[in-house]
Structure 1
Amino acid sequence: MSLPLARIVAGPANAPTLVLLHGITGSAVSQAEAIDHWVGRGYRVVAADARGHGLSPRWTTAELDRAGEVLVEDVVSLLEELIPAVPGTPASPAVGDATREFCGAARVSPAFAAKAVNPVAGESGEPESTPAAPGPRPVLIGHSMGAATAMVVAVRRPDLVSGAVLLDPARYGSRSPQELRERGAARKRARAADLADLPGAVARALANPEIPDGEAVAGAWAGQRVDPSLLDTGVVAPPVPWEEAMADLAVPTLLVTGDRPGSARVGPAGLDRLARIANPRIETALLAGAGHDVRRTRPEEFWAAVDPWLDRLLGAGEQ
């Protein structure tokens, strides 16, 4: 039986829960500023290390053969662990009238170091169960690979989530398998170069104005912790076409992207495709000048787009 994903848990135990899913070569702790921010606004944050990242289990050969599906299964298992199996627990807004009301207002819109960041572990060193309090189901917030995974989880298991925030998701089918393997090989070479000069890797991260100081060292560490065998596959998303999944989403969803050429994965062209799909449950935010990492490249605009949406969905927000 596979071990559970490692995770960071911070914030009030009885608060609405946000589940953070990072991108390829990232980790839970490399999102420290986001964890701090949302805990400060009254949320409970569970930031998970994806399989083969951070302190989570490594990939087996059998798992690598179906890596995209395993990413989805891991998040489903995490959500099932977080949600208490208690009779009478309120139904997820994802399947109730509240969601239909929220989604009815959805529209495609124009641009508009953590205090409690500690892994929860028992004496065995494995993460303890950290069930959410009865109430709204968690909201998935994913970036890139994490966003693609969150999207598919929300499509397949809407009973487990209240909604999803997709930060410039990786789009399955937009690159050939050969191109994906080449990009994976490039990431592997970059990882090896950083490993050969860790002080230089940290210095470069600290010098990058678009990487928060509180995440620079953690990001360099995360890059070293990624399982090279996953990079060999080139997998960065579950094997579900992006437009198909977006059309099938039945929970409130916010997609955030940028317009920086050569960086943003969805961008204005992707938003045009979404407009044609016309799923009323999806809202979008286009952040002018933002790159693929929308939170880091345009932080003020990012919080201004995401926080009100979360507050409206979950009724939390800064206390």
Structure 2
Amino acid sequence: MSFQVSGGTAIRGTIIATHGVGDSAASLADIATHFGDEFRIYLVDLLGHGHAPRLTDEQLEDPFAAVAAYFAQDLEQIITAAPGGLPVVLMGHSFGGSVAAYVAQHNPQLVDALVFEDPAILTAAQAQVYREDAANLAARMRKQGSDPAAAITELRPDYPAWSTAEYTGWAQAKALVDYRLVETGVVGTAASHMDEEDILPHLTMPTLLVTGDGADVLFDVPRLNQALSSPKVEGAIIRGASHTVRRDQPEAFFATVDAFLDRVLPHTPSTPGVSAFIREEYKLLTEALPPQDTWDIPIMRESARTRNQPYGFLPGISATEFAIKAGDVTVRQVARDELQRGEIAPELVFFSVHGGGYVGGKPEYDDVRHEALVQEFHPVVVVSPEYRLAPEHPYPAAVIDTVAALVDTVERFPDSPIITYGDSAGAGLLAQVFARLEDFAPEKSAKIRKQVNSFIAVEPCLDPAMNTASWETYAAGPAWFHRSSKISWAGYLSDSKPSFAELIPADKVLVPPTLVVVNPADPLRDEGIDWARRLIDNGVNTELHLFSGTVHGLATIPGTASWNSLLELIASFNRELA
């Protein structure tokens, strides 16, 4: 990938800008200048332009698809490298606008807003004109690239308002473009894919389309009015501007874009966790937390696998794994060896469901926590199901697997009270399990409800709406981000539309006595608090605790003050239920 990056650290979001055919990232410098104080700016060379690779023969068979696929990869890498959790804005001129539109339509989870500068989302007639003129356009660019000084001299009379930097960037790009791409005549979507009737109505994020009133604009008044019929699109015509709106009328262009961004993005600069009180024991851990790159799930899972090497249990404690009778679900059991061998029966069973945003995680990653539970509550076994993960297996696959594992646990330990325990997505999944026991285990649901003593819900991930105040305050983390959560929920729910009651049950008939624990510096904080309030009002025996100075994922690290407090709370809560 090839891009230029600039901007500060206390920022509103990330802007990723793309250029037209024959231009490059160098022609976008004023975007970095204008927005650099409030945004992290990435100016991208599209495939076949600037310092990006040239197109292969195979890619030239469908050049738009190749450029769009390459930009989609760039977008994922940039978001991974950019400050986590902040809004992402794509800006695109002409060809870059059509590429941005296409990629945003197919990857809506990555993009929060779009700004198009007379994008090459073409009608069939416009696409035909460009194809017919392709040879002439390529010849002109070759000539301009061979003599940049002469090209600038020739350009100035037609575009007198451009800055010196714009002339220089424009001319430099002509020497670096892949002329074979230009010769295809593909400068927008309709040439090989779709026209605007198929793309603009399907955009799901706020979109600004800025055009001019010059003779060469692609979106004249009738086409702009047609575009404005799309629910997410608003438009503006900059008087005295040609197809190169920003360079012709920079003040009017940036004023229009500023007003749009002020409406659709938070204006207060945000640095993850900048104002939150975090306990000293968690500060270094918070800074070292890995990125939650749910937009690239294979890499995220591999990173987790690499970090979570096999855990070395204390002598006398071990883990066993086995497949349960129903289905292909694997269960991991941690206990002292005499319980593993069946020499003594457990007095208590923890049924522990791991987190991971519904798209990651494994039971073995919680071995250190499960070992701590074994030490604290002996004689006890900890059972943890390896449920199917989204997006490969969307809702309710994980619910079905977890119910099956819970049925197996009740059958194997019929006389032992069960404490269900889940953190983050694990807590959300258990809530869903309690809502649907009668659906997926009708013959065993009564036995399960009788044997489950309590539900320990730590930093529960419950609500895909993500519209509480803490989601606004901690959209950029620490630890868990708005974008990561949005993508996870989209993959988990997929085309399913479960009811609010299925995702967040609060009926005392469904939910056992529940201990809710939330973190102060956590985007999930308020949905946990709101849920606890609903549980209380609906007659569920409920306790709610907030640990001082904790962040998402770090409140349950054995040896920390919050973990020790949690163990005491679990013990006292369940003693009162006995």
Scaled to the shorter chain, the TM-score interval is 0.7 to 0.9
Q: CA deviation at 1:196?
A: 4.3
Counterpart pick for 1:54 among 50, 53, 62: 50
Distance 2:225 2:234 in 1: 13
Match of 1:300 in 2: 251
Once the two structures are superposed, residues 237-293 of structure 1 have per-residue CA deviations (whole angstroms, 9 ceiling, x without a partner) of: 2322122101111111011111212x1110101122124xx2221111111222101
| Aligned 8 A contact 2:15 2:42 in 1 | yes
| Aligned 8 A contact 1:191 1:223 in 2 | yes
- Aligned Cα root-mean-square deviation (Å): 2.1
Confirm or deny that 1:73 pairs with 2:27.
Answer: no
Greater relative contact order structure (CA < 8 Å, 6+ sep): 1
Counterpart pick for 2:23 among 19, 23, 26: 26
Query: Using a 3 Å threshold, how does the CA distance of structure 1 residues 257 and 224 change in structure 2: closer, same or farther?
Result: same
Query: Using a 3 Å threshold, how does the CA distance of structure 1 residues 13 and 67 change in structure 2: closer, same or farther?
Result: farther
Query: Using a 3 Å threshold, how does the CA distance of structure 1 residues 295 and 75 change in structure 2: closer, same or farther?
Result: same
Match of 2:177 in 1: 226
Q: Within 5 A, what are the aligned runs for 1:88-167?
A: 131-167=81-117
| Aligned 8 A contact 1:152 1:245 in 2 | yes
Farther-moved stretch of structure 1 (19-28 vs 211-220): 211-220
Query: Using a 3 Å threshold, how does the CA distance of structure 1 residues 187 and 80 change in structure 2: closer, same or farther?
Result: same
TM-score normalized by the length of structure 2: 0.44
Q: Within 5 A, what are the aligned runs for 1:132-281?
A: 132-175=82-125, 179-205=129-155, 208-238=159-189, 239-261=193-215, 263-275=216-228, 278-281=229-232
* Identical-pair percentage: 33
Q: Residue 315 of structure 1: SS of its match in structure 2?
A: coil
Match of 2:512 in 1: none
Query: Using a 3 Å threshold, how does the CA distance of structure 1 residues 32 and 61 change in structure 2: closer, same or farther?
Result: same
Match of 2:334 in 1: none
Distance 2:140 2:54 in 1: 20
Q: Which amino acid aligns with 2:252?
A: E
Q: Which amino acid aligns with 1:75?
A: F
Query: Using a 3 Å threshold, how does the CA distance of structure 1 residues 312 and 178 change in structure 2: closer, same or farther?
Result: closer
Counterpart pick for 1:12 among 8, 32, 36: 8
Query: Using a 3 Å threshold, how does the CA distance of structure 1 residues 290 and 12 change in structure 2: closer, same or farther?
Result: same
Match of 1:87 in 2: none
Q: Which amino acid aligns with 1:315?
A: P
Query: Using a 3 Å threshold, how does the CA distance of structure 1 residues 43 and 316 change in structure 2: closer, same or farther?
Result: farther
| Aligned 8 A contact 1:54 1:225 in 2 | yes
Confirm or deny that 1:37 pairs with 2:34.
Answer: yes
Q: CA deviation at 1:316?
A: 3.8
Distance 1:8 1:290 in 2: 27
Q: Residue 279 of structure 1: SS of its match in structure 2?
A: coil
Once the two structures are superposed, residues 285-311 of structure 1 have per-residue CA deviations (whole angstroms, 9 ceiling, x without a partner) of: 111222101111122211111012123
Match of 2:463 in 1: none
Structure with higher strand content = 2
Distance 1:177 1:293 in 2: 18
Farther-moved stretch of structure 1 (286-295 vs 16-25): 286-295
Q: CA deviation at 1:193?
A: 2.2
Q: Residue 36 of structure 2: SS of its match in structure 1?
A: helix
Query: Using a 3 Å threshold, how does the CA distance of structure 1 residues 256 and 318 change in structure 2: closer, same or farther?
Result: farther
Distance 1:59 1:249 in 2: 28
Q: Residue 289 of structure 1: SS of its match in structure 2?
A: coil
Farther-moved stretch of structure 1 (56-65 vs 171-180): 171-180
Q: Which amino acid aligns with 2:194?
A: V
Q: Which amino acid aligns with 1:273?
A: Q
| Aligned 8 A contact 1:53 1:227 in 2 | yes
Query: Using a 3 Å threshold, how does the CA distance of structure 1 residues 12 and 180 change in structure 2: closer, same or farther?
Result: same
Q: Which amino acid aligns with 1:264?
A: V
Q: CA deviation at 1:197?
A: 3.1
Computing the radius of gyration from Cα coordinates, the structure with the larger value is 2
Query: Using a 3 Å threshold, how does the CA distance of structure 1 residues 232 and 10 change in structure 2: closer, same or farther?
Result: same
Query: Using a 3 Å threshold, how does the CA distance of structure 1 residues 177 and 141 change in structure 2: closer, same or farther?
Result: closer
Match of 1:289 in 2: 240
Once the two structures are superposed, residues 198-243 of structure 1 have per-residue CA deviations (whole angstroms, 9 ceiling, x without a partner) of: 3312333466413211121121010111101001111112322122
TM-score normalized by the length of structure 1: 0.78
Distance 1:258 1:317 in 2: 31
Unaligned 5+ segments in structure 1 are 85-130
